[in-house]
């Protein structure tokens, strides 16, 4: 399955015509998509007001919801952090590390527009679109 990062959802909601937003539109017609709990949190934090947040939540809950972190993934995420640190890369956002680790460990692909995932693709084997 494909997990959609908040960077893509935000571009979609703002009607920005980005390559990833176009891929989201094409993919949503073909296959089930994943929305992570942490990604939902990031998006809802940016809502203008409660009514806007409710519309966003209703729209995103039509997709498969995924819990991105558990006790096993915590250990894997910490290991991935250390692997990146060993090659001189400091992870800027823990949320991105959690999202990438979830995809790597569960065999999912990540659709994103966030340059912070590039080292995770290169050094950890994250599959990304």
pLDDT tens column, 51-70: 999 999 999 999 999 999 99
Domain 2-128: assigned CATH number? 3.40.50.1010
Task: Say if residue 99 is exposed, middle or buried (CB neighbours under 10 Å; 0-12, 13-18, 19+).
Answer: buried
Higher pLDDT, 29 or 35: 35
Q: Whole-prediction pTM value?
A: 0.91
For the chain, the domains span 2-128
Distance CA 114, CA 112 (A): 6
Name, in order, each residue with C-beta under 8 angstroms of 11's C-beta and a sequence gap of 6 or more: 18, 20, 21, 113
pLDDT tens column, 86-116: 999 999 999 999 999 999 999 999 999 989 9
What pLDDT is recorded for position 128? 96
Predicted confidence (pLDDT) at residue 30 exceeds the cutoff of 90 = no
Q: Which two tokens stand for residue 57?
A: 């939540």
Predicted confidence (pLDDT) at residue 123 exceeds the cutoff of 90 = yes
CB atoms within 10 A of CB 13: 17
Per the prediction, the chain carries an average pLDDT of: 94
What pLDDT is recorded for position 29? 82
Taking residues 25-36, report their average pLDDT. 90
CA proximity to 60, closest of 18, 117, 15, 10: 10
Q: What one-character-per-residue DSSP string does 70-122 give?
A: -HHHHHHHHHHHHHHHHTT---S-HHHHHHHHHHHHHT-EEE---GGGHHHHH
Report residue 79: phi and psi, to 5°.
-65, -45
């Amino acid at each position: 399955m494909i997990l959609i990062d908040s960077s893509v959802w935000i571009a979609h909601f703002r009607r920005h015509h980005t390559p990833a937003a176009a891929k989201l539109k094409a993919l949503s017609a073909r296959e089930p998509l994943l929305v992570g709990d942490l990604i939902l949190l990031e998006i809802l934090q940016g809502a203008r007001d409660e009514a806007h947040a409710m519309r966003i939540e209703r729209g995103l809950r039509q997709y498969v919801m995924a819990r991105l972190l558990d006790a096993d993934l915590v250990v894997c995420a910490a290991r991935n952090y250390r692997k990146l640190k060993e090659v001189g890369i400091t992870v800027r956002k823990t949320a991105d590390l959690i999202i990438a680790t979830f995809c790597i460990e569960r065999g999912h692909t990540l659709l994103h527009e966030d340059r912070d995932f590039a080292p995770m693709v290169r050094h950890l084997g994250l599959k990304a679109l």
